[in-house]
Structure 1
Amino acid sequence: MRPWMQRSIEESKAPMERMMDAKIQAVHKRLDAFKLRVLERHAPTIDVTTFRMELARLRSDVDALLSPAETVSKTAPEVEVVMTSLFGDTMPPLDPSCATGKRHRSSDSYF
């Protein structure tokens, strides 16, 4: 590389380096100001007694959830009949009274 080219490159680098240094300093100033604002904030105070009461309440709720479930007493026979008829696997028979008087029609009868 020729000396005049080297000198031109170095001369163009100097203003860019100064500009970058100024930008970096501005960013550092903003970061410092942000850190000061964060550090100056007051931390929320925690009432230890309230915290302990809430923790005890949560523990009792968890214990209640983890305890074995009580056995359910035998349901009434009527309830079992209703539940079986509603949710059973078998279909109840069709009422033959609604099918009387109706004749079967197929598409073949029209031709």
Structure 2
Amino acid sequence: MEYNPSLPIYLQVANSIKRDIVTGKLEPGAKLPSVRDLAVEYTINPNTVSRVYRELEMENVCFTRRGTGTFVTQDPEKVRTMRREMAGTLIYEFLEGMKQLGYTQEEAIRILEQSEYKEDR
């Protein structure tokens, strides 16, 4: 993973895990990697991973069972909410970028509708 220097690493890793959850790569109730394994996977300090897991627990994205590990939430509504929030963030960032280029929201939407983007790419 390539890290963005303007955002704390623990938030970037947490967002990556959330993205894996909303896309179905991590299923509800799935066991997350141990702190050490995730630290190796992301090449970060184990203390940073602990902070990632604490952050995800505070957001009710995951939960920890003492002695067995950390698991993805089993609440389908939480996953739907995260998905909507992530979509909203992407839309906002896109529209802000288009605004900086001098486009109105309506023009940006028209460009999207006329785009040659294909879903199978």
**Short-chain TM bin:** under 0.3
Which structure dedicates a bigger proportion of its chain to strand?
A: 2
Higher Cα Rg, which structure: 1
Which one has more relative contact order, counting CA pairs under 8 Å at least 6 apart?
Answer: 2
More helix by share: 1
